[in-house]
Amino acid sequence: MQTRIYQDQNWILFLPLAWGDSGIYQCIINNTNMCHRIHVNLTVFNETQCVSRNSQVNLSDEYKQILHVGKNDSLTCHLNFPKSCNLDSVKWYKDCKEIKGERFAYWERKRKLSVSNVSAEDRGNYLCKAKLTHAGKQYMVLHRITVNVTENVGHGGIIPKITYPTNNTIEAQLGSTLIVDCNITDTRDNTNLRCWRVSSTLVDIYYKESKRVQEGIETHISFQEHNFYTVNITFLEVKMEDYDHPFTCHAGVSAAYFILKPPVPDFLAYLIGGLLAFAGAAVFVMCLYNIFWIDIALWYRSAFQSTGTIEDGKLYDAYVLYPKPQRESQSYIMDTLVLKVLPEVLERQCGYQLFIFGRDEFPGQAVASVIDENIKLCRRLIIIIVPESLGFDLLKNMSEEQIAIYNALIQDGMKVILIEVEKIKNYTVMPESIQYIKQKHGSVHWNGDFTEESLCAKTKFWKKVRYCMPPKRFPPSSHAQLLKHMPCDLTAGN
């Protein structure tokens, strides 16, 4: 073939057309079942760009169109080319003159000419001309139309029916992209104009500069007696100016609109979201509380503690009851814990006052009398226990232990702090009173480590003990003096 004649799939292009191109062309379509042969007779005419109103032009029916008097109608420029060809710069002419005026509007993308308020003067010879670009070369293409006017509306007086929109409102989020279809049922041989308008102005013209809102390509589905048309309008970005503004779809004399509205807040969704957020926060707080509840309690005591002494008639914060070793060689660990570690942390660092039998009684006093009197002056009872396998006796025959337990559990009902020097695996071998205390108050486990770190009041073990101790209230002067001697940071509370 010559370089000016191209095949593009099932198209044959003559760019440009020449006198010698007249003849019969054969198109062969092969598929798996059969072979189709189509013959096309091509006749080249001497085409002139301008034809006046009085000129006689013999055109086939596909080059004839009708406008309806008194209506808004349109003409279509049937320039069909494959996708490899680009058509633009469409211009319309009537009786050799370029069409201009307020009643006419060009739709370049659809290659349509909109005519408002059609009159008998709109009859005549029309020409649409466009610039075609193919393979980097440009050509001029023409399509001639003979236009008649009639006073009938559509075919048989049938008016197009718009099934959507229905003069309704549509919720659209600000800044979102939105596509709305206009669905139209009309006769097969209609020439009705189908378009979108804003304030009686075509959408493509109204948004000519920004092109933010555009009318889409019209599509249709053919049925036996009618066509179903769809033409959409696309909002590339919804803006505030689009709200409460009617966008109208026209189909001949029929019209229907929609109005954009901002979305109504979904209060139920907000409520459910709020409840879920609250529930999540509550679960999170409960988890934190279960992990740090002792730290929170001690911090609260430290932050909101009041000065002054507690007016309850007590002199001591705790009475320390500990088992006595059967042999002198076993007394080192217990004496270190009771006579050094407890006083260092609870008394020196935390400001508590302990009563330890063997350290705080006066010489010559009767044992039973000292124990009975001083146990009543204490706010807590600290009981230190060890497994029986270590050779310590607890609550067997000693009067100190019997009196202390009797006062704590029966007479005064004071709170008991049970400290395990080593993990007690079997409480059934313990006295019933210890089993009862374990069940009611629980226990705190001491790992037996006497390092410097373990002697700090902010370790986990001492926090548990401090939590079980009564809230400490310092006189204004003594509180300031005590803080000067504290080696550990007690900001978590006393």
C-alpha–C-alpha distance, residues 167 and 255, integer Å: 9
Nearest-angstrom CA–CA distance, 387 and 398: 18
Proportion of the chain above pLDDT 70, given as a percent:
82
The enclosing H or E element of 324 equals strand 324-325
Are the beta carbons of 195 and 247 closer than 8 angstroms? no
Q: Which residues pair with 229 in a beta bridge?
A: 184, 220
> How would you class 21 by CB atoms within 10 Å of its CB: exposed for 0-12, middle for 13-18, buried for 19 or more?
middle
Considering only residues 237 and 253, tell me which one the structure prediction assigns the higher pLDDT.
Answer: 237
Q: What is the mean pLDDT of residues 145-151?
A: 85
Least confident of 266-280, 317-331, 385-399: 385-399
What was the pLDDT predicted at 261? 93
Question: 165 by DSSP, 3-state: which?
Answer: coil
Using CB atoms within 10 Å of the CB of residue 234, give its burial: 0 to 12 exposed, 13 to 18 middle, 19+ buried. middle
Could you give the angle at the alpha carbon of 449 between the alpha carbons of 446 and 452, nearest 5°? 120
> What confidence category does residue 327 fall into, taking pLDDT thresholds of 50, 70 and 90?
low
Locus of tokens 């009938």: 152
Q: Which two three-digit tokens encode residue 301? A: 């005591």
Residue 54 or 281, more confident: 281
225 annotated active-site:
no
In terms of Cβ atoms closer than 10 Å to its own Cβ (0-12, 13-18, 19+), residue 154 is: buried
* Arithmetic mean of pLDDT, 249-260: 91
Token pair of 351 as six digits:
């400001």
Give the angle subtended at the CA of 46 by the CAs of 41 and 52, to the nearest 5°.
120
**Range with the poorest average pLDDT among 78-92, 205-219, 354-368:** 354-368
- Global pTM reads 0.44
* pLDDT exceeds cutoff 60 at 479: no
Q: What is the pLDDT of residue 484?
A: 40
Catalytic-labelled residue, pool 400, 401, 422, 453: 400
Q: What confidence category does residue 178 fall into, taking pLDDT thresholds of 50, 70 and 90?
A: very high
Q: Which of 30-34, 197-201, 282-286 has the weakest average pLDDT?
A: 30-34
Confirm if 380 and 414 have CB atoms less than 8 A apart.
yes
* Radius of gyration, alpha carbons of the chain: 51
Would you state the structure tokens that stand for residue 297, as one six-digit string?
A: 């309690």
Residue 315 reports pLDDT greater than 80: yes
Residue 203 and residue 242: Cα distance in Å, rounded?
12
Distance CA 410, CA 268 (A): 58
Greater confidence (248 vs 155) lies with: 248
More confident residue, 59 or 424: 424
Tokens encoding 190: 């209609």
- Residue 309's pLDDT is 56
Instruction: Quote the pLDDT of residue 389.
Output: 54
Q: Determine the Cα–Cα distance for residues 469 and 467; give it in Å rounded to an integer.
A: 5
Mean pLDDT of 243-260: 91
Residue 209 has pLDDT above 70, yes or no: yes
Considering only residues 145 and 429, tell me which one the structure prediction assigns the higher pLDDT: 145
